Structure 1
């Protein structure tokens, strides 16, 4: 597959310079950038805690997200798929299969070409895989999942709202994935429904996951597609350049751990697309210079964050706790930064018209 920016250059009616220059105009929403993302993040986290794969609460969250996309003028689709995972009540060797139905929530802003850009974030929260995890508050019905990943969902909802009346050259497809925490099941199902021709038409998949707790923002390419063609790192590099122009501190994996090549990320929904040969970028907040240098430790170990992370922890990944212990106005500032950056990038690569 050709690198994304090369394809965009070839397929757009605009000249190559348009691909390299930010086409930025003020957002159409009256409220400040990031306000809608923060509000949607808070609503999803507090009104729908315990959004575990295949549960009634996850379905309620999916219905809520579909309703919000409808409010913005989209015609969302809920796509069901089986969600199965193993529960180990007594530890290893005592697995019990749990099964249900999860849903991807999909909405599109149609473009004039047959090319597609996918913007995704998972809306489910972690399940408790054992009694020990449940007793420790890892996963389960009390987990708000603010950082992981109501924060990413808030971003895609604001992007959808701000682009709802635009006229892009290339279709922008928003997907709120279910069942990410049980093996990227929603993303893998979305990929499985694509024919080879449909996969070829996807210029780029953009994933947003966990943008609050981590010390700094990162953007990565996919390890498989980047290894196959270094040109697939151009989208990552363009986002880094845009961040610099906008005065934002955004980095990429420095490659200090040889298991995670420099400039690439892992372990969220973008992996399903990357493994299928679709170019990806992923945005997250963490700290790739701490712990095992693998991006799992999000911040320095402290009294507030004893493991240097909030992943899946019902006591830590909640609104009140993060507001009290993260620096500054993190719950407002990070969504605003990510929306600003990705909106600029999407306006550029999607070939958006100057006027909506």
Structure 2
């Protein structure tokens, strides 16, 4: 009842209406990022905000002509109380999946975590980690927003390989494992690449990393090609090579033998160690799970122009990359 009433009210206010079409690269992504962070804070797995966000994302995909559906699944987790007791809990999480068929069944998956951090302990709540006020502008409205602009711009592009966009919920609660478990063996075999978009704002530069088990020819076509596109556009970008160990959230697909390209902004050195920044407001180059700083007002104040520049840069690299991958040219 709550969800239906809220949905009706938001529709009446125009919150779920389509945003204005954008002409410049990154413009729609910035609009989407600000829209999601503003209207769907606290979109934790199983929350009303998450359900409303899923409705909104599905509406966006459908208006661009994608076959889109919502997928519910049960996510289990342990919650630690202040007295040390650990209890088993569960939530019904909702992911959104959209697809366009190509000439062949092989597919490229673009995936982004759509929910915000769900407190896993009394300590999390006391430290304001996650919760109802977390806008999650960086983690991960940024990844979802860039994914949405890519979907909008690719809606009429002729495809040789199919495209699938996944706004995944409960990523920290084994959501990726659930998604992988539901893939049929033939679908796993036909998945040529997973592109994972996460935390694209606060880090000092974009990093393009391949999975440990990604074949080197695929890494050259994806990771190295992305870096070449970044250089040609004078966009700061780097790679750790095949460095899934630095990104535990992306291990699921790599362990399954599915080629992977991870895209995220981070403050790393060339060995993958986190480095401090000169910005006292983001000393670790990250603001994950913190409602006090992972919000539009804080990022706009202390990283002025970052949202505009990073959404533009992300689309400027990823759009031509995906177009090339979805429509490979025959070798001379």
TM-score (norm 1): 0.81
Q: How far, CA to CA, are the matches of 2:38 and 2:195 in structure 1?
A: 26
1:128-207 alignment runs, 5 A limit: 128-182=119-173, 185-207=174-196
Q: How far, CA to CA, are the matches of 2:302 and 2:63 in structure 1?
A: 34
Question: How many Å apart are 1:245 and its aligned residue?
Answer: 2.2
**2:267 touches 2:284 (CA, 8 Å); kept in 1?**
no
Q: How far, CA to CA, are the matches of 1:121 and 1:134 in structure 2?
A: 25
**1:206 touches 1:270 (CA, 8 Å); kept in 2?**
no
Q: How far, CA to CA, are the matches of 1:315 and 1:146 in structure 2?
A: 11
Pick the aligned partner of 2:37 from 41, 45, 54: 45
Secondary structure of the residue that 2:166 maps to in structure 1? strand
Listed as ranges, the gaps of 5+ residues in structure 2 are: 1-20
Listed as ranges, the gaps of 5+ residues in structure 1 are: 1-28, 254-261
Question: How many Å apart are 1:241 and its aligned residue?
Answer: 1.6
- 2:265 matched residue in structure 1: 285
Question: How many Å apart are 1:263 and its aligned residue?
Answer: 3.5
Pick the aligned partner of 2:70 from 67, 70, 78: 78
Q: Structure 1 stretches (4+) deviating beyond 4 angstroms?
A: 293-297
Deviations 1:115-162 (A, max 9, x none): 100001011011122222211111111111000000000001000001
- 2:228 matched residue in structure 1: 241
Q: How far, CA to CA, are the matches of 1:352 and 1:158 in structure 2?
A: 21
Evaluate the alpha carbon distance shift between residue 170 and residue 269 of structure 1 in structure 2; reply closer, same or farther with a 3 A threshold. Answer: farther
Moved more, 309-318 or 49-58: 49-58
Pick the aligned partner of 1:218 from 188, 204, 207: 207
Secondary structure of the residue that 2:293 maps to in structure 1? coil
1:202-351 alignment runs, 5 A limit: 202-223=191-212, 225-226=213-214, 229-234=215-220, 235-253=222-240, 262-265=241-244, 266-267=246-247, 270-289=250-269, 294=272, 300=277, 302-326=279-303, 328-351=304-327
Q: How far, CA to CA, are the matches of 1:144 and 1:201 in structure 2?
A: 35
Moved more, 190-199 or 106-115: 190-199
Secondary structure of the residue that 2:110 maps to in structure 1? strand
Aligned pairs, number:
307
Q: How far, CA to CA, are the matches of 1:284 and 1:150 in structure 2?
A: 12
Q: How far, CA to CA, are the matches of 2:87 and 2:279 in structure 1?
A: 36
Deviations 1:295-332 (A, max 9, x none): 656x5164313544201100000000000011x41111
Q: How far, CA to CA, are the matches of 2:237 and 2:288 in structure 1?
A: 21
Secondary structure of the residue that 2:151 maps to in structure 1? helix
What is the alpha-carbon root mean square deviation over aligned residues?
Answer: 2.0
**1:37 touches 1:155 (CA, 8 Å); kept in 2?**
yes
Q: How far, CA to CA, are the matches of 1:278 and 1:342 in structure 2?
A: 19
Q: How far, CA to CA, are the matches of 2:119 and 2:232 in structure 1?
A: 42
Question: How many Å apart are 1:233 and its aligned residue?
Answer: 2.1
